[in-house]
Structure 1
Amino acid sequence: MNKANLWHPFTQMKDYNDSNPLIIERGEGVRLFDVQGKAYYDGFSSVWLNVHGHNVPELNEAITDQLGRVAHSTLLGMANVPAIELAEKLTRIAPKGLSKVFYSDSGATGVEIAIKMAFQYWKNKGNPAKNKFITMNQAYHGDTIGAVSVGAIPLYHDVFRPMLFPSHVIPYPYAYRHDGGAAAAKEATLSALRDLLETSCEEIAALIVEPIVQGAGGIIVMPPGCLCEMASLCRKYDVLLIADEVATGFGRTGEMFACELEDVSPDLMVIGKGLTGGYLPVAATLATDEVYSAFYADYEEQKTFFHGHSFTGNPLGCAVALASLKLFEERGIVEGVKKKASFVEHKLEALIERPHAGEIRQKGLMIGIELVRDKSSREPYDWADRIGVRTAMRARELGMLTRPLGNVVVFIPPLASTEEELDAMTDILTKSIVDVTEGGASL
C-alpha cells in the first residue's frame, strides 16, 4: 500500500520504490521504532521539529484533555480558549514589540501570511508602490507560491519560476570559518543590502531572512553582528523586516528565538515546527502593533486582512503548544541547549582532521557537516555521488535517522536529548561519515 498509494514529499518515487522503505510504527523518547521493532535515534528531530521527544505524557495528556472539550472551533469572527491563551503566551516570550498573533498550520503558510501582511500594510498606509521583496541567496521559506517566490534554491524553485513574482536576491553571508573570510562575507551582504535600499527602497515592502542560521541552504551560520546591522538598515530605509524563525525558533540555536542572539525585534516573525513540540501542525505569524494598526479601520474602508485557514488556531494544537511551552520552563530546555551544544561540538572535533569533512557548521543544536571530495581544495562531491544520501543510509543501518541537504549531513537532535543519547548519536554520525567517505577507516 505504501508504494502503491503514497506519494512522499521531496522524494524521487522511482528511487524510493526500488528501495527498502522505512515505515515507522511508534516513538518513545528520542527514538523511533519501525514495523519490525528496530529502534532508531531521531537524529533530525523528524525534520527539525521535535523538542521533548516522542510520546511525552504531558503532551499526550494536553491533547486528550482538550479533546474532551472541543477538537476544533473556527477563529473566523470567534475564538477558543487555547488559542487565546497561547497568543498571550507567545507575545510574552517573543522579541519585544511583537504583540499580535495570526495562526496558520505550517511554516510555509505562516510565511505566506507575513508576505501578504507586508504587501497590504503598505497599501493600507497609502504607499502601494512598496510591493517588492528582498530575499537571500539559497533561501528557503516553504513551498507555497508566495513562499517559493522569496525562495532562492535553484534545485527546489527554478521549475516553478514562471508562476512566481520576482524578488530581489542578495547574498547570505557564507564563508569558511577556516579561512577568516567571515568579515568579508558579512560586508558583502551588508553592502549589497545597503546599495539596494539606497536605490530602490521606495519599492521595497520587506526583507525576509532566516535569522542567524540558514537552514535548507546548508546550515549556514551568519557572522556575528550581521543580522543586527541588517535590521538597522531596514529601519533606516523604512522597510519591514520579516524573520523566518520556523527552523531556528524554540530554543534550537541556544535562545528561544534566534533574533534574540543579536537583540533584534523584527516587524513580522514566523514560527512553526517546534511550536507544538513536534506534535501537531500549528504555525503563527507575529506582528507589531504598528503593522496591526494599518489593518484596524472601519469596515467600509476595506482594510481587512482577507486571509485564513480552516484549521487556524485549532484548539488541540494550541493546547499541546501551551503544554510544550510549560515543559520549556519547567525543564530549562533553552538553558540546557547551550551546555548540550558544547558537548556536541567537542564530540564532533573527531571529524575536524578527517579528509572529507570540509566544515562543521553549528549554532546550538543545529548542525551541518559538509562533506567534500578534497579538503585542501574544497572540491565538492558530484551530485551524482549521493554522498550525503549514502551517509544517511549508513547512519540508518547503525541506528540513527537523518536526512542530508545534498552533501551536507544534518544533525538536529531533539532538544531534550541527554548527553548519553547525544554521545551515542554523534558516534553513529562520525562512523557513518568515515565509513562512507573513507571506506571504513579506523577512527
Structure 2
Amino acid sequence: MTLSIRDKKIIWHPFTQEKNAQKIVGIKKAQGSYVYDENDVPYLDLISSWWVNIHGHGHQEIAKSIYDQAKTLEHVLFAGFTHEPAVTLCQELQTILPKNLCRFFFSDNGSTSVEVALKMSYQYWLNLRKKEKKFFLSFDGGYHGDTFGAMSVGAKSGFHNQFKALCFNVLSIPYPYTWNGDEQVELKEEKSIRVLKKYLHQYANTISAIILEPLIQGASGMRICRPQFIKNVVNLVRQYHILVIFDEVMTGFCRTGTYFALHQLEIAPDFLCISKGLTGGFLPLALTVTQNRIYEAFLGDDFKTAFAHGHSYTANPLACSAAITSLKLLKKPECQEAIKTISKMHQVKIIEAKSQCPRIEKIRTLGTIAAFDVKDLQRFMSLAKLRFFEQGMVIRPLKNTIYLMPPYCILEEEIDSVYKKIVKIINTL
C-alpha cells in the first residue's frame, strides 16, 4: 500500500521533484537488510538507507544501548558539561585512528562536521594572524553537504547550481576518477597535478585548506581515484603549509574495506569529518576530529580566539551510546569477515554482470562499494528505479551510475541474486 495523495502532500521530501515524483511508499518496519512496506512486502536495502545502516536495521544491541542510556541521561547541554558516553566514544575512536587525531568536536550530521572543519581551518590561520589564508581547494565533483560552506567547497558537484551566487569562491581541481581497465588514468592524474601546481604557485599563501573525499567521491557517482594520487596531492599541499581535510562522512566505518580510507593512504589529515555510519543508522551524530596543534591555536586569554560554534543536541548521550555499541560491533571478527566477503563478492559479480550486459561499463569496486555506469540510463531513470523496486530492491542510481552499498549483514546468496536481477532489468529497459 502507498500513502494517499493527501498524506503525500503533507511532507516535502528531499531530493524530489514533488510535481512528478513516483508514489511515496510507506515503510512501517525494518529488520536486518530489509525494509517492509505497509503490506509487509520486503525490500532489500542495497544502499543502507543513504549509507548509514552499516549493521542493518533494528539491531537489538544498539537499540538496547539507547534504551538503557535513556533511563539515565537522555540529554544535557554540552557547553560547560560533559558525560561518560561522549568521553567513551572518543576513547573508542582513538583506538582505530592515527594517534595525532586526538581532539574531538561533536556536531549533528555530515554537513555540519564539514562546516566545523572549514570554520576551524579558517580561524586557525586567523588566530595565528594570517588573515590572508581564507581560500579553499577542492575537487570537481566533490560533494560535502548542503549547508553553505559545504555547498561552496562542493560547488562543481552539480547539486547546488541554484545557490552559486551565495557561495564563496573555491579553487577547484579536476578529479581523475578511474575504473577497471582505464588506460587514461595516468594522463588524468597528470592534468590534475598540473592544475594543482598552478594554483599553488599563484595562490599558496592565501589557501587555508584542501578538502576531499579520500579514494571515492560518493554523490557524484561513486567515482574512484588511485591512492597514490591522493598521497601526491597531500604531499604537495603540505609543502605549502596548507591544511588537509578528509571528508569521510561516507567512507568511514569500513565502507572502503578499512576502518577509514585514511588507513589505506597512511595519511593523518589535519581534520577528519565523520558521520553517517557512526551510530549504525539509529540517530544523527557527527564528529570533526583534529590534531593538538590545531586545538592549541584556539587557546587564549579571552573568548576572541575560542571556537564559537555549537548545536543544541551536541554530543547527545543517546546517539553517543548507539555509536559506542555500533563501533564495538564493527570491531568484532565476524563483522570484519562479512566486510571481506562482501568485497570479494562485488569483485566477482560485477565482472560477471559486465560480461552478461553490453550496456554496463566502467566497473569499479572499493571495499563494500560496487558501481558501474549504464549507457543511456538517464533516459530510463524513473523506469529503472521502478523496476528495481518491483523486484524487491532499494536502489537509487546516480545519473547513469548504479551502485550497491549494502549493510554488512547481507548474505552471499542475496548479493548473487541482486546482480542477476539488475542485469535482467537493464537488458530489458
Q: Same fold (TM over 0.5)?
A: yes
Residue of structure 1 equivalent to 2:112: 109
Query: Per the alignment, do residues 389 and 358 of structure 1 end up closer, same or farther by CA in structure 2, a change over 3 Å counting?
Result: farther
> Alpha-carbon deviation of 1:152?
3.0
The 5 A counterparts of 1:112-127 are 112-127=115-130
Aligned counterpart for 2:306 among listed residues 294, 304, 307? 304
Residue of structure 2 equivalent to 1:81: 84
What 5-or-longer segments of structure 1 have no aligned partner?
Answer: 374-380, 437-443
Amino acid in structure 1 at the alignment position of 2:147: T
Residue of structure 2 equivalent to 1:313: 315
Aligned counterpart for 1:333 among listed residues 319, 332, 335? 335
1:361-396: CA deviations, max 9, x gaps? 2111112221114xxxxxxx5x4x1x3443222111
Residue of structure 1 equivalent to 2:176: 173
Residue of structure 2 equivalent to 1:429: 422
Kept in 2: contact 1:105–1:312 (CA 8 A): yes
Aligned counterpart for 2:187 among listed residues 184, 188, 199? 184
Partner-residue secondary structure (3-state), 2:371: strand
The 5 A counterparts of 1:60-75 are 60-75=63-78
In 2, the alpha carbon distance for the partners of 1:155 and 1:122 equals 30
Amino acid in structure 2 at the alignment position of 1:234: V
Residue of structure 2 equivalent to 1:2: 7
Partner-residue secondary structure (3-state), 1:32: strand
Q: Which moved more, 1:108-117 or 1:1-10?
A: 1-10
Aligned counterpart for 2:245 among listed residues 235, 242, 246? 242
The 5 A counterparts of 1:44-443 are 44-153=47-156, 155-299=158-302, 302-353=304-355, 354-373=357-376, 383=378, 385=379, 387-436=380-429
In 2, the alpha carbon distance for the partners of 1:359 and 1:272 equals 29
1:214-246: CA deviations, max 9, x gaps? 111111111230111111112111000000000
In 2, the alpha carbon distance for the partners of 1:179 and 1:133 equals 30
1:11-48: CA deviations, max 9, x gaps? 001122xx332111101110000111100000100011
Partner-residue secondary structure (3-state), 2:407: coil
Kept in 2: contact 1:186–1:223 (CA 8 A): no
Amino acid in structure 2 at the alignment position of 1:431: K
Residue of structure 2 equivalent to 1:440: none
Partner-residue secondary structure (3-state), 2:20: helix
In 1, the alpha carbon distance for the partners of 2:343 and 2:415 equals 10
1:162-208: CA deviations, max 9, x gaps? 11111010011124543411111222222222221122110000000
Amino acid in structure 1 at the alignment position of 2:409: A
Q: Which moved more, 1:138-147 or 1:403-412?
A: 403-412
Partner-residue secondary structure (3-state), 2:40: coil
Kept in 1: contact 2:125–2:133 (CA 8 A): yes
Kept in 2: contact 1:399–1:428 (CA 8 A): no
In 2, the alpha carbon distance for the partners of 1:237 and 1:246 equals 26
Kept in 2: contact 1:389–1:404 (CA 8 A): no
Amino acid in structure 1 at the alignment position of 2:232: E
Residue of structure 1 equivalent to 2:3: none
Q: What is the total number of aligned residue pairs between the two structures?
A: 423
Partner-residue secondary structure (3-state), 1:160: helix
Aligned counterpart for 2:17 among listed residues 12, 21, 25? 12
Identity of aligned residues (%): 36
Residue of structure 2 equivalent to 1:377: none
Amino acid in structure 2 at the alignment position of 1:8: H
> Alpha-carbon deviation of 1:131?
0.5
| RMSD of equivalent CA atoms | 1.5
Amino acid in structure 1 at the alignment position of 2:268: S
Kept in 1: contact 2:273–2:288 (CA 8 A): yes
Amino acid in structure 2 at the alignment position of 1:346: V
> Alpha-carbon deviation of 1:278?
1.0
TM-score of the pair, normalised by structure 1: 0.92
Partner-residue secondary structure (3-state), 2:348: helix
Kept in 1: contact 2:103–2:289 (CA 8 A): yes
Kept in 1: contact 2:108–2:284 (CA 8 A): yes
Amino acid in structure 1 at the alignment position of 2:14: P
1:99-157: CA deviations, max 9, x gaps? 01101110000000000000000000111100000111011000001100101345311
Kept in 1: contact 2:133–2:205 (CA 8 A): yes
Runs of 4+ in 1 over 6 A off after TM superposition: none
In 2, the alpha carbon distance for the partners of 1:304 and 1:224 equals 36
> Alpha-carbon deviation of 1:92?
2.4
In 1, the alpha carbon distance for the partners of 2:296 and 2:279 equals 28
